[in-house]
Structure 1
């Protein structure tokens, strides 16, 4: 899968990003993260920080945290 979305179950920012990707018919894989920041080692490894959501688009060479930035990127890249 070329696009991966790291998200936390019940996170409204993650849901907002996932909903928009679904609306844009973007095919992506979800990796569900741990609730505790200290246990989000995979997120830290790929993005350098532990917050979610994080979007990884391998084809475009993009790793991006923060929902608003991801939404802007999605509009520019996938719409």
Structure 2
């Protein structure tokens, strides 16, 4: 096979190989981008879940304190 001239036989073998490698490279790049985006999304969801748990605990403490305060003052709770 001469480097200056590639015959049609060799071209039929090389072109699908080059196209295949190109497609594989595109899929790999897409995988890397989507993987990073998914990791960022999951990290944000983890932080949001932790913040919601802390907020829930704080609201429970506030509700408990209000109930205790109402019990001591003799205030009846309104049911809506």
Question: Normalising by structure 1, what TM-score?
Answer: 0.21
The structure with more helix, counted as a fraction of residues? 2
Tell me which structure has the larger Cα radius of gyration.
Answer: 2
The structure with more strand, counted as a fraction of residues? 1
Question: Normalising by structure 2, what TM-score?
Answer: 0.21
